[in-house]
Amino acid sequence: MSLSYQINLKILLSSLLILFLGGAIAIWQARNSVDKELNASASLTEHLITCGLSQTIADRTTWLNCFSSLKETRHLTIELMTPSGQAFGIGNKHKVNDLVESPPFWFINLIGNKQATIEKLIATASGDQFSLRIRANPIDEIQEVWEESLAFFCTILLLTLLTFSSVYFAIHKTLASIRIIVDTLQQIETGNYQQQLPEFNTTEYNSIAKAVNHMTGKLHQTQLENRALVKHSMEILETERKQLAQELHDELGQSLTAIKMMAVIANQKKDQIAEISASIANSCDGLINIVRSIMHRLHPLVLTELGLKAAIEDLLNHWASKNPEIKFRFRCDDEVDTLGQKLSIQIFRVVQECLTNIFRHAEAQECSVTLAMVETPEHQVRLTVTDNGKGCDINKLTKGFGILGMKERVHSLGGNLSIQSTLNNGVQVNAVIPIVVN
């Protein structure tokens, strides 16, 4: 059921309820009003006649002349019966069927068509007696009530139509805006983050449009960054493969060829077996170092064998040996070695990228790495890497592929990575990663 249909149906039911209640109240008030009006008119007329005429007219002839000279009274029939049976009357003589514009019979029956009748014996000053009969016909009052009720119902009907029209146009405009928003969201769902909502005249819809446009802008920017990061990662992967292939060809290939040649020579010159064996052993030692170097680049074995703390210490010692001018500080909780392999390797890679950036760009004299376990408000591991280098503009810093790579690693674990830096005040990298407790 559509929103427009629901609203129009509720307005219709509300209008019908108002119409029913208003009609019931109007008919109830009309019945009371008609009864009071008829009784009041009849009583007033009877009082005026009996108190006015009977005290001033002395004989029957004068009474009859004064009574006959009365003009027609509204919805009243006045009759005077003489003792001889002669009747004199004035007032409305028409019947309901004789009215040109009479109310419908159903309405008359609802109001009630009962006439108010008053009969009273009066006497003149000379002692003559008459019978005065006053009957109040309700048809005139019912006619007035019918006209008022008709105006009331027409007003309610007109207001209902106006309400329907106003609601229809308002709902039509609202639904048109909603359709635009839904269509745009469907386009965004397909990955078209360049789709933008137009500006609406309604403040609420305009706020939604601004929020959605801001969201799509961020999504589009993130999409571009992810594409660039994927492209850069693929380039790095191909570069690593090329370097590994070159090393395998240059180092391993040459060493294996040399070992093979020495084995052939040793078979031919048995008197040089000891010297050739020593050369083969030296070549094997070189091969072992090459293989370890390649394996360390692919995956740090110390991380698997000794844990995250030892792996980071080994990494810091490696960089310290290459850069003795930098002073390193490392603080780490022993509990970090209980972290899973997935979490440990990602933290290790983040520290590795931070150190690479420091050695390439920071020109720092000090570097500090802190890794701590936190249990409040939830189980987390917090990594902080700081240096006292030259710092940089944070807006330019966040555009590098290394920073994007670190953020993606941390975000993939459900964590958050933030970077703080100002010129000549170094850089601080903070990562907070939740720990899933089974």
Q: What is the pLDDT of residue 370?
A: 94
| Structural domains counted in the chain | 2
Question: What number is the average pLDDT over the span 58-83?
Answer: 59
95 has a pLDDT exceeding 50: no
Question: What number is the average pLDDT over the span 373-386?
Answer: 86
219 has a pLDDT exceeding 80: yes
Residue, of 88 and 415, whose pLDDT is higher: 415
Q: What is the pLDDT of residue 400?
A: 62
Write the pLDDT tens digit of every residue in 179-198. 888 888 888 888 788 888 88
pLDDT confidence bin for 99, thresholds 50/70/90: very low
Q: What is the pLDDT of residue 408?
A: 82
Residue, of 312 and 174, whose pLDDT is higher: 312
Residue at a domain's end among 119, 137, 164: 164
271 has a pLDDT exceeding 90: no
In a domain, 176, yes or no: no
pLDDT confidence bin for 293, thresholds 50/70/90: confident
Q: Using CA atoms, how far apart are residues 363 and 381, in angstroms rounded to an integer?
A: 28
Residue, of 430 and 241, whose pLDDT is higher: 430
For the range 235-243, what are the long-range contacts, defined as Cβ-Cβ under 8 Å and sequence gap of 24 or more?
240/297
Q: Using CA atoms, how far apart are residues 26 and 14, in angstroms rounded to an integer?
A: 18
Residues 6+ apart with CB under 8 A from 190: none
Question: What number is the average pLDDT over the span 285-312?
Answer: 78
110 has a pLDDT exceeding 90: no
Q: What is the pLDDT of residue 128?
A: 65
Q: What is the pLDDT of residue 97?
A: 45
Write the pLDDT tens digit of every residue in 194-214. 888 888 888 888 888 889 888
Residue at a domain's end among 145, 164, 183: 164
For the range 164-172, what are the long-range contacts, defined as Cβ-Cβ under 8 Å and sequence gap of 24 or more?
164/8, 164/11, 164/12, 167/7, 167/8, 167/11, 168/4, 168/8, 171/3, 171/4, 171/7, 171/8, 172/4
Q: What is the pLDDT of residue 96?
A: 42
Q: What is the pLDDT of residue 42?
A: 62
Other beta carbons within 10 angstroms of residue 89's beta carbon come to 14
Q: What is the pLDDT of residue 89?
A: 57
Q: What is the pLDDT of residue 369?
A: 93
Question: What number is the average pLDDT over the span 385-391?
Answer: 88
What does the mean pLDDT of the chain come to?
76
pLDDT confidence bin for 20, thresholds 50/70/90: confident
* Phi and psi at residue 45, to the nearest 5°: -60, -45
Write the pLDDT tens digit of every residue in 332-365. 998 888 888 888 888 988 998 888 888 888 888 8
pLDDT confidence bin for 122, thresholds 50/70/90: low
Question: What number is the average pLDDT over the span 16-35?
Answer: 77
60 has a pLDDT exceeding 60: no
What Å distances lie between residue 312 and 143, 330, 353, 374, CA to CA? 102, 9, 12, 19
177 has a pLDDT exceeding 50: yes
In a domain, 259, yes or no: no
In a domain, 391, yes or no: yes
**Most confident by average pLDDT, 232-241, 245-254, 339-348:** 339-348
Q: Using CA atoms, how far apart are residues 229 and 401, in angstroms rounded to an integer?
A: 6
DSSP 357: H
In a domain, 231, yes or no: no
Write the pLDDT tens digit of every residue in 138-169. 777 777 778 887 887 788 778 878 877 887 78
Domain that holds residue 50: 18-164
Residue, of 392 and 374, whose pLDDT is higher: 374
In a domain, 97, yes or no: yes
Q: What is the pLDDT of residue 429?
A: 92
When mean pLDDT is compared across 9-23, 81-95, 349-363, the lowest value belongs to 81-95
Question: What number is the average pLDDT over the span 304-329?
Answer: 87
Residue, of 288 and 372, whose pLDDT is higher: 372
Q: Is the dihedral of CA 45, 48, 50, 54 positive or negative?
A: negative
Residue at a domain's end among 108, 137, 164: 164
Residue, of 438 and 177, whose pLDDT is higher: 177
Q: Using CA atoms, how far apart are residues 269 and 273, in angstroms rounded to an integer?
A: 7
Q: Using CA atoms, how far apart are residues 12 and 21, in angstroms rounded to an integer?
A: 14
Specify the CATH number for the domain of residue 343: 3.30.565.10
In a domain, 213, yes or no: no
Q: Residue 364 in contact with residue 392, Cβ under 8 Å?
A: no
In a domain, 325, yes or no: yes
Q: Using CA atoms, how far apart are residues 54 and 132, in angstroms rounded to an integer?
A: 12
**Cis before residue 198, ω within 30 degrees of 0?**
no
pLDDT confidence bin for 100, thresholds 50/70/90: very low
When mean pLDDT is compared across 11-15, 44-48, 291-295, 340-344, the lowest value belongs to 44-48
In a domain, 397, yes or no: yes
* Phi and psi at residue 293, to the nearest 5°: -60, -45
